[in-house]
Structure formats: C-alpha cells, structure tokens
C-alpha cells in the first residue's frame, strides 16, 4: 500500500522531453490570426442619412438590436442607440418589446 515509485533521473528527463515536444507541437499547430484577420466591432454607427444604409434597413422584415449589430458590425449598445435614432426620425416603427429588447419594422 505504498505510494508511487520514484522515477530515475533518466526516466524524468525522458518525460520532461516528451512534455516539451507536445507543447511545442501544440503551439505550432495552433493557427494564429494576423492583424488583418482580426475583426473588431465598431463604436461609431453608420450615417442615418446614407441611402445605402436606409436601403439595407428597408430590405429587412424585422429589426432588432442584434440583427443591426451583426449586419453593420456594431456593438450591441451602439445598435440600440442607432435603432432609437431611426425611430425618432421616422424611418422605423416600434412593434413590441420589453425592457431588454425592442423590435422594430421598417416604416412603410
């Protein structure tokens, strides 16, 4: 009922070498993203007066902050503010929602 048997120096060296080789192989196998591949979400919303943005919004059946954030690569909080501004300008109509999410549709 003893403990684990002590390894010899040679066995410990081999074990250490194997672990280092595994770590090295793991690092090399991991794909790294370059700075051009990394995407960051924008903080500045698109211009409300831009015709391309308005056309893109009118094509959508339902507008939620998540959909706007993913379509225009925005943060969720910025998308909420953007939808609120569109609502104030009369470009979208409020449909329903609660405290956490608001659902809009294009004005038409």
Distance of CA 97 to the CA centre of its chain: 23
pLDDT in tens, 34-91: 655 666 777 888 888 888 988 999 999 999 999 999 999 999 999 999 999 999 999 9
Q: Could you tell me if 28 and 69 are in contact, meaning their C-beta atoms sit under 8 angstroms apart?
A: no
E-only strand ranges, 21-69: none
Residue 33 has pLDDT above 70, yes or no: no
Residue 74 · residue 39 · CB < 8 Å:
no
CATH topology of domain 51-106: Arc Repressor Mutant, subunit A (1.10.10)
pTM: 0.61
C-alpha–C-alpha distance, residues 59 and 74, integer Å: 19
Q: Where do the domains of the chain lie?
A: 51-106
């Amino acid at each position: 009922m003893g403990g684990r048997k002590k390894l010899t120096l040679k066995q410990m060296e081999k074990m250490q070498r194997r672990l280092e080789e595994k770590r090295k192989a793991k690092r090399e196998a991991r794909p790294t993203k370059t700075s051009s591949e990394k995407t960051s979400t924008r903080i500045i919303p698109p211009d409300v007066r831009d015709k391309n943005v308005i056309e893109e919004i009118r094509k959508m059946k339902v507008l939620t902050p998540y959909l706007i954030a993913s379509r225009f690569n925005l943060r969720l909080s910025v998308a909420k503010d953007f939808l609120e501004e569109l609502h104030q300008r009369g470009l979208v109509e409020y449909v329903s929602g609660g405290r956490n999410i608001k659902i809009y549709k294009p004005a038409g």
